[in-house]
Structure 1
Amino acid sequence: MKGVGQRFAQGIVEFRDVLSKYSIHSGFDFDFVKNDKDCVTVHCKRRADFGCLWGMHARVENHSKYFVIKQFDDVHTYGSSFRTIKHARMTLSIIGALISSDIRNKALTSVSEVVCDFKDYYGTEVSYRRAWMSVEKGRGLVFGDYLSSFDDLHWYVDAVNDCNLGSVFDMEFDVHSKERHFKCLFFAFEACIHGFKYCRPVLMLDGTFLKRRHKGCLLAATTKDGNQGLYPLCFVIVDSESYDSWHWFLSKLFVILTPGRDIAFVINQHGGLLKALAEVFPFSSHSFCLMHLKTNLKTYLSVKSRESKEYLLTLFSRCAYAPTIELFNELFKEFKGRCGRSVEKFLEDLPNECWCNAYFQGKRYGEMCTNVAASFNSWVRDERYLLSTSLVDAIRVKLIEQFSRRREVGNKWNHIVCPFAEKKLEEALNDTKAWIVKKCSDDIYEIQLDHSVMVDIGKRSCSCRLWEIDSFPCKHGFCAIKRSEKDLNCFLDNYYRVSSYCDSYSHSIYPVPSMWKPNVIVDDDIVLPPLCKRPAGRPRTERIPSKGEIKRIRCSRCGKMGTHNRKTCKEALL
């Protein structure tokens, strides 16, 4: 409170709200002597017992219709000894309004944090139950009251489509129930669909569990932009990660992709995903995530020595990255010879064309892992606790910020290619300064090292095959292009250009205003929560490690990353 003359443009509602917050912060309570729409008079609650003279009078100005403080005695004559830490004015709406900014910045604000914050800032005690109810109400204020349940899901989907023309939203219901229970929701914003045309045609498919009341999974198709940044394309909320869910998701994904564009997929070995991908995208190439393969391989290795396991895993990676069939066969023979029969079962269901560069049929632009999918799962870690409609809107807000921020960054770049490509070219320049290049024709060059390498810059090929595999000039190709004195940028795919990067973020994702949301909902538009049963036990807050996964830590004694700590460290210290 600023004192006499303070004006409240929103009338008595704003005045009462500010008055309650002021009393909470000051640690006292008050009584209404008069309280109507035109005039409010309040006295300190201890006036009758201790004769406290604190009081305030405010009323509406006739000419401006503002609520104005006319009289304010801001002195408590009984002192500060009777201030309370349990305040009756600490209602759910007040708490929710005070913490709304915190929830907006951090969707997973815990109830304990709210209790501690009120104790530290206001000196007021709030019960855990009231704090929990206020957090839920605060989330409704932040994301809009229409996002607190499934009731207005139809309205929200229609509102997003109206504000973002070209977006794709599709929802299905449980056909086995008499009422319209939510089953799955696919959504892809128009800006993402348009921008993917300027990104490399490689998609990572993965899913993450939802932590909300009704459980379920969030499946996503993500890729990378021209500067190796995370680029989410589309999403789906389903009850579980199964064949039916993946098939429904991929069928919707097929519709939003540019017809005739060859897409390569990087996936895990989920049986339902493999079957659905073969049916929906029969002519597309797919590869297994190398990181997941190495994690699964650990369970089949019979060697007990940690050094031997690390060597075999490294040898397996070398097999995957081997660019030629000859090199792959040589390394793979050594790998199988060292592993013996223990990994035969693992290799039976692992076709060569699905994990190694030498046999892969499509173009995956050097992407061997679904690390971008893991980045997406971390990107929505807190939002996974929200209800379905709130989750969709939270993702929309995050995409708004990402597109706007990267659009501004891209417009400031004054190079032809993105910084990621510039860095790779600079590294190639430093490594090839002493190489000997012989010109055979206008396009064909020979690179003389300890071995001879042939480069055809016209066909964008090299005998090392790395140029064809990564769709980016290898060091031999870079050296040949430099010798030809031709423009290096002409030999790079358009996906690495700054212009393509800016085009991928050129369209915007627009807000969804809720001020005109109808208060009355038609019965046909009501969507009920999914039919599910809460599993037994306390909900988990951390990811369940995969089979064979080993958590690596840094030893405080030797400083190395590994599976040992200071107590079990056996490293020799110099």
Structure 2
Amino acid sequence: MPAYQGDDLVPDIRVLHRVFWSYYPCIRAFRHCKPVVQVDGTHLYGKYKGCLLVAVSQDGNNNIVPIAFAIVEGETSDAWYFFLSNLRQHVVTHDGVGLISDRHDSIRLAIERRYSRTIREYQMRYERLKERGEAYTNWLDRIPREQYALAFDGGYRWGHMTTNLVECINSVLKGARNLPVTALVKATFYRLNELFTRKKAEAEARINAGLVFSEMVTTKLHANQRASGNIQVSCFDRENEVFKVCEMPSGVEYAVDLRHHRCDCGEFQVNRIPCRHVFACCANQRLDWQVYINDVYKMDQVRRVYRARFRPLGNPVMWPAYHGPRFVGNPFLRRVAKGRPKMTRFLNEMDTRILRRSMRCKQCGAEGHSRSRCRQSGGSSAGPAEE
């Protein structure tokens, strides 16, 4: 923003209003992450007030990948528009990406451990919530269902329901949130460099060990494969790859559409991982279940997330010369100094007379010091009392 001295514009000075930054390795990393972005803000503790906005994604091994940052004056609509528009222009450049934020308060449903993956589960929990009071459901009806129910989100969330990923980044940057702007940017640079170096080494070690999929998806695949043993494929459409399975001994039936990657249980289309019903269909028809795993969970894809490297900043003396304006902090965002607050009310004649009167000690009656600084008081307390 322009800087003014009184009513005159200062030509060579600008007031820092907002700043957005990202790094090339982070931009390249997002191309190989899940198409999900979670954003959140956290307060700064430094000399000036403000908020640090962070956008993160996640790779196929459930590792958090920060992709963009911004320092703004607060979590206002204009500040969020500034951050999201730059995020869209410079980092998230393709369509079909899910955005998760804490725009609404936490939704407390009757059952908090699981989220509704199917329409039937959603209707059942909705009725349970309605039994507690229609005020709850009336409040819930004002929010689009695709923002809080996996059964209606179209698969954009990839199973993520909260902004806990961003909260983890906030805790990591907690020690840097009281730094000046330049130091804060440097802190994100060096910490991301350390993160990318470590995660790349872990991915290469897993690939050298002959492992194809990430650790997280491998655990889920083994569990689903074991659970598929008590599932019967009663009928199927081989040409259209549509199957009907039945879980034993409960007798619950599900429809599986391998061509469109859908299952009535909801897990297949939400996580992009074969569920137990898909494993049963593949075993019945001797199909390769690995083709139904999304590429983001493959270790080769995880390694590509951290393939780009950070370059050292080097000596600032060797940087190209900067001829732009000098930036200063916003004086309106400066924090009030600690201590007793300054008097802001208008003073009358009595207050002026009191302020002009010299200080008088209540211990000895002399002027120029208070009772706490009186030498007689200090002398009497320093030694034993004289008789």
1:323 aligns with 2:124: no
Following the alignment from structure 1 to structure 2, what is the Cα–Cα distance between the partners of residues 213 and 244?
23
Give the aligned partner of residue 506 of structure 1.
307
1:391 aligns with 2:184: yes
Secondary structure of the residue that 1:180 maps to in structure 2? strand
Which of 515, 530, 533 matches 2:330? 530
Q: TM-score, normalised by structure 1?
A: 0.53
Give the aligned partner of residue 487 of structure 1.
288
Following the alignment from structure 1 to structure 2, what is the Cα–Cα distance between the partners of residues 489 and 205?
32
Secondary structure of the residue that 2:203 maps to in structure 1? helix
Q: Do the aligned partners of 2:255 and 2:264 also contact (CA within 8 Å) in 1?
A: yes
Give the aligned partner of residue 185 of structure 1.
19
Equivalent residue runs for 1:107-146 within 5 Å = none
1:437 aligns with 2:230: no
Q: TM-score, normalised by structure 2?
A: 0.77
Following the alignment from structure 2 to structure 1, what is the Cα–Cα distance between the partners of residues 319 and 236?
74
Give the aligned partner of residue 223 of structure 2.
427
Counterpart amino acid of residue 189 in structure 1: Y
Distance 1:456 1:349, change over 3 A: closer
Query: Percent of aligned pairs with the same residue?
Result: 24
Give the aligned partner of residue 366 of structure 1.
159
Give the aligned partner of residue 336 of structure 1.
130
What is the CA deviation profile of residues 527-550 of structure 1, one whole-angstrom value per residue up to 9, with x for unaligned ones? Answer: 112222314768xxxxxxxxxxxx
Q: Cα offset for 1:459?
A: 2.1
Which of 234, 247, 266 matches 2:100? 266
Counterpart amino acid of residue 428 in structure 1: N
Give the aligned partner of residue 66 of structure 2.
232
1:418 aligns with 2:214: yes
What is the CA deviation profile of residues 466-507 of structure 1, one whole-angstrom value per residue up to 9, with x for unaligned ones? Answer: 322332222212322233333222111111111110111100
Give the aligned partner of residue 446 of structure 1.
244
Stretches of structure 1 that go unaligned for 5 or more consecutive residues are 1-172, 270-287, 298-312, 539-574
1:473 aligns with 2:267: no
Secondary structure of the residue that 1:390 maps to in structure 2? helix
Following the alignment from structure 1 to structure 2, what is the Cα–Cα distance between the partners of residues 336 and 384?
43
Equivalent residue runs for 1:29-428 within 5 Å = 173-174=1-2, 178=10, 179-257=13-91, 259-269=93-103, 292-294=105-107, 297=108, 313-315=109-111, 318=114, 321-338=115-132, 340-343=133-136, 346-413=139-206, 414-428=210-224
Q: Cα offset for 1:366?
A: 0.5
Q: Do the aligned partners of 1:445 and 1:455 also contact (CA within 8 Å) in 2?
A: yes
Q: Do the aligned partners of 1:363 and 1:471 also contact (CA within 8 Å) in 2?
A: no
Following the alignment from structure 2 to structure 1, what is the Cα–Cα distance between the partners of residues 37 and 320?
41
Counterpart amino acid of residue 487 in structure 1: D
Q: Cα offset for 1:252?
A: 0.5
Counterpart amino acid of residue 16 in structure 2: F
Q: Cα offset for 1:223?
A: 1.0
Q: Cα offset for 1:356?
A: 0.9
Following the alignment from structure 2 to structure 1, what is the Cα–Cα distance between the partners of residues 125 and 318?
64
Following the alignment from structure 1 to structure 2, what is the Cα–Cα distance between the partners of residues 408 and 335?
48
What is the CA deviation profile of residues 81-132 of structure 1, one whole-angstrom value per residue up to 9, with x for unaligned ones? Answer: xxxxxxxxxxxxxxxxxxxxxxxxxxxxxxxxxxxxxxxxxxxxxxxxxxxx
Following the alignment from structure 2 to structure 1, what is the Cα–Cα distance between the partners of residues 123 and 194?
47
Following the alignment from structure 1 to structure 2, what is the Cα–Cα distance between the partners of residues 481 and 175?
68
What is the CA deviation profile of residues 168-225 of structure 1, one whole-angstrom value per residue up to 9, with x for unaligned ones? Answer: xxxxx35677431111111110111011001111000101111111121110110111
Q: Cα offset for 1:525?
A: 3.8
Following the alignment from structure 1 to structure 2, what is the Cα–Cα distance between the partners of residues 371 and 263?
18
Q: Do the aligned partners of 2:38 and 2:99 also contact (CA within 8 Å) in 1?
A: yes
Q: Cα offset for 1:404?
A: 0.8
Give the aligned partner of residue 50 of structure 1.
none
Higher relative contact order (CA 8 A, sep 6+): 2
Following the alignment from structure 2 to structure 1, what is the Cα–Cα distance between the partners of residues 112 and 93?
36
Secondary structure of the residue that 1:367 maps to in structure 2? coil
Secondary structure of the residue that 2:31 maps to in structure 1? helix
Q: Do the aligned partners of 1:315 and 1:335 also contact (CA within 8 Å) in 2?
A: no
Distance 1:314 1:474, change over 3 A: farther
Following the alignment from structure 2 to structure 1, what is the Cα–Cα distance between the partners of residues 30 and 150?
24
Give the aligned partner of residue 13 of structure 1.
none
Distance 1:503 1:416, change over 3 A: same
Following the alignment from structure 1 to structure 2, what is the Cα–Cα distance between the partners of residues 357 and 387?
41
Counterpart amino acid of residue 477 in structure 1: V
Bigger CA drift: 506-515 or 245-254?
Answer: 506-515
Counterpart amino acid of residue 330 in structure 1: M
Following the alignment from structure 1 to structure 2, what is the Cα–Cα distance between the partners of residues 174 and 372?
37
Following the alignment from structure 1 to structure 2, what is the Cα–Cα distance between the partners of residues 515 and 533?
28
Distance 1:330 1:267, change over 3 A: same
Q: Cα offset for 1:513?
A: 1.1
Counterpart amino acid of residue 297 in structure 2: Y
Q: Do the aligned partners of 1:183 and 1:239 also contact (CA within 8 Å) in 2?
A: yes
Runs of 4+ in 1 over 3 A off after TM superposition: 173-179, 257-260, 517-522, 535-538
Following the alignment from structure 2 to structure 1, what is the Cα–Cα distance between the partners of residues 49 and 182?
13
Q: Cα offset for 1:341?
A: 4.1
Distance 1:204 1:174, change over 3 A: farther
Distance 1:316 1:342, change over 3 A: farther
Secondary structure of the residue that 1:220 maps to in structure 2? strand
Distance 1:249 1:454, change over 3 A: same
Cα RMSD between the aligned structures? Answer: 2.4
Following the alignment from structure 2 to structure 1, what is the Cα–Cα distance between the partners of residues 266 and 176?
43
Stretches of structure 2 that go unaligned for 5 or more consecutive residues are 340-387
